Amino acid sequence: MSRIVLAPMEGLADDVLRAVLTAAGGYDWCVTEFVRVTTTLLPHSCYTRLSPELKHGSRTASGTPVRIQLLGSDPVLLAQNAAHLARLAPAGIDLNFGCPTPLVNRNRGGAALLDEPELLQRIAGAVRAAVPVAIPVTAKMRLGIEDTARALDCALALEAGGMQELVVHARTKQDGYRPLVRWECVARIREAVKLPIIANGEVWTVADYRKICAVTGCPDVMLGRGAVADPLLARRIRDGRSEHATADDWQVLKIMLAGFWTRVQAKLPPHQSPGRLKQWLGLMRRSYPQAERLFGAIREARRAPEISAALQRGGLNLAAAHPQPA
């Protein structure tokens, strides 16, 4: 059966949003934002702060497994940290070779390593050897830095290093998040390697999901920003009943938004929580006109009480929303 995975999204998909999105249903597992491994052995608190789900069997409150993503370039240090992390019994460990941000890349992290397939293999092999076999070790990569010339070399290197699954984001580092995607390159990788390939990139609708599966030949898909823009997308793909957002969906989303706002306020200082809600609604405007109106109502608000009042005027029942564990 086809699998749907919720992507790691730095600065966006934290434990609060993971809990809300996975509660809507449809996901086989999700992946955290990355933990940067540089020069030290990180304490367990670093992982549990990023993923409080580790304290609950490495699952969200709705039961979706959570894999922890590591980012770095030193095979020995990554292996040591992965072995230390494994003591917390994560649902899986994922390696980041896809982050395109300049700050990460300047420090030889993420997609910056895609010109060094030999290094990718050493990292993969070291981490896999350091982690108990019962814990899946996977990787996520882009197609290259400026072009796709070494994409297949990188995929083969990660396979040789013992990765059990590989997510391929159908863009290069230079592509960033522009609408251009290279699904056909993912197809070539799928044909050349034996490990399962999970296709990723520019899936915003059910139609996009069907197209990426058809072009890449991959039955498994990772949803990123499309899952944030339409929080019911995975469920919509699963049930096959409605390809597009409906008015009834908004009633469900109002409950999700109320729960999200309540949990964000419980987690963050008052001056930070408004930005998180605006960030989510800003993406949701792509799929829901109601989100556009709600975003307009809170756009200028700077204080949490102002936003709560605007949300209640917009029909959200904040009194019924209660924080839940991750």
CA 180 to chain centre: 20
Element (H, E) at 299: none
Selected catalytic residue, list 99, 154, 185, 218? 99
Give the closest residue to 264 by CA, choosing from 314, 310, 317, 304. Answer: 304
Q: Are 124 and 140 in contact (CB under 8 A)?
A: no
**Residue 66 CB neighbours (<10 A):** 27
Widest Cα–Cα separation across the chain:
57
d(CA 305, CA 326): 24
- 99 is an active site residue: yes
Label residues 228-241 b or e (16+ Cβ within 10 Å = b). Answer: bbbbbbbbbbeeee
Phi-psi region of 130 (alpha: psi -120 to 50; beta: other; left: phi over 0): alpha
Tokens of 162: 């013992």
Q: Are 288 and 247 in contact (CB under 8 A)?
A: no
Q: Are 197 and 230 in contact (CB under 8 A)?
A: no
Amino acid at 205: T
Give the closest residue to 294 by CA, choosing from 245, 248, 261. Answer: 261
DSSP H stretches of helix in the chain: 15-23, 44-50, 75-86, 102-106, 117-130, 151-160, 183-192, 206-216, 225-229, 233-239, 247-267, 273-284, 289-298, 304-313
- What are the catalytic residues? 99
